[in-house]
Amino acid sequence: MPYSIGLEAAATAFLSAGFATQFTLAVVVFLTILLVTSTFQRDAPDVPTSLPCYSIFSIIPFFRRRYDFLNWGFHATGQSIFQFQLLRNTVVVVSGESARQAFFTARGLDLTEGFKILSGAIPMVRGVTSDLQTKRIALIHRRLAAVQRNTPLNDLIPIILEDSRRMMETWGASGTFDPFDKIYELVFQTTVRSLSCAEISDDAALVSRLKTLYDRLDTGTTPATVLLPWLPTPAMIKKVWATKEIYDIVTQAIKSREESGISRNDSLQHLLDSGDEKLVIVGFIMGLIIAGARATGTTASWVITFLGGHPEWRVKAASEVKSLIESYSQSSMAADSLSSQLAAIPLEVWETKVPVLDAIIKETTRVAQPHTAMRRNLGPPLYIDNKIIPTGAYVVYPFSDVHLDPELYPDPWRFNPGRPEPKNTTFGYVGWGGGKTLCLGTRLAKIELKVITAMFVLGFEHRIVDKLGNTATSLPTPNWNDILMCRPQNGCSIKYARSSIPL
């Protein structure tokens, strides 16, 4: 009897408490259940070894210090494959050549589902950028491929160069900047230009506002907003409002185009002319702008940073671009603007006759792209290195496993575009994906990187400097725990001065 009276009193007290107290108690009970159940779990022989810690302690490290956390996991388990829980989601981490091959070729491992749950840093609008039908996803992929065909991409080059010239002019004749601000800002502009419409990309203030909103999505992406998207935390509320404003900007641009009746040569026009439904058009623009700008912006920022600390490669890049201008431009470098001379270089040349730029970009993506590939097993259970991956489980593969492997890349943190290719290994480089899953925007991204780099190395002299403005004695190191920008922990400053060549 005393027990029932006590329970009744406790229930009455709980029901009479405010919502905040009830919610807090519910969360505590939920987490307690997770802790207790995880304590009694035992791994079968074919099940990946679990991390030696309660599952709740994996959540923040996975999202905040992912590179360190995954390395710790391999060390703590002593295994090349291990697993942990993100609330009720099983996550299996794999490494090694055979696991890498299986990861990139297994049919049941789905990229979209893996990215949606474990990343969360894109604007999520049901039916627009999330919960898409397979046919709608395939259609967006086809449209992205169409944007990168020869004619549209060739037409884009002079426009990207003009955007670059305009933004570089605002920097002045000399000064100092953080490349992870200025270069990223430039790439955001060229990506908006390439994947949206003139109504947005011609309006500098609107592009700036759009960048601010996407940055707000980044900073608002927390473990809670990813794993508990229904929880109305302040961060989630900010993300919802930012997403709504992005959506409004895109839909207003579409409306303006339709009402004007003016046809333009851009991605929006291609989507409208194809007769695509509005949800596909909005999803294409909202999702692909940030997906492209983040990856390409990070690479571009590090390309300029590395070249500022390795003058020998800066000279090689500048010499290569000068040779192209001499071969394809109709006027001397002093007689015409740099942007117009670079615009005269054909697309085919940018793609096939710039081995120095290719090597620089490839080495940069190897050492300064902190990707962790994410998949979800939608098919039947599969085995990777004799360990089972259940249906519904998430699988992640850290690119550091191959790109920072000293056996494949001696002194792996050193920037060296001249290093030989790793031999006798499967998928020894996965900077643009591998197997059945390759980055669908690779062609556009490489063109952006090449023309922006060419414009910068001929239009400016630059070097890495310390806080006093002197040439830095130690160069910035990529921070792989920064999963979005890979910014160096101690920051980075570039001192620049305009060359004699007019932009």
Between strands 387-389 and 437-438, the pairing is unpaired
> 163 near 454, Cβ under 8 Å?
no
Which residues does 277 contact at the CB level (< 8 Å), separation at least 6? Answer: none
Helix axes 150-169 and 179-195, enclosed angle (nearest 10): 140
3-state secondary structure of 14: helix
Residue 85, helix vs strand vs coil: strand
How many angstroms separate the CA atoms of 233 and 224, rounded?
8
**Distance in angstroms (rounded) separating the CA atoms of residues 409 and 422:** 7
Alpha-carbon separation of residue 124 from 214, 225, 279, 475, 499 (angstroms): 12, 11, 13, 38, 44
- Residues β-bridged to residue 377: 109
Identify the three-state secondary structure at position 229: coil
Count of beta carbons in the 10 Å neighbourhood of residue 178: 16
439 annotated as ligand-binding: yes
- Count CA within 13 A, CB hemisphere, residue 296: 30
403 touches 367 (CB < 8 A): yes
Read off the amino acid at residue 496.
Y
Pick from 281, 247, 278, 287: nearest CA to 266: 281
Cβ of 467: how many Cβ atoms within 10 Å? 9
How many other C-beta atoms are found inside a 10 Å radius of the C-beta of residue 23? 12
- State whether residue 437 is helix, strand or coil: strand
Q: Are 496 and 171 in contact (CB under 8 A)?
A: yes
> Roughly what angle, to the nearest 10 degrees, separates helices 355-368 and 311-328?
140
Binding site: which residues?
439
Binding site for heme: which residues?
439
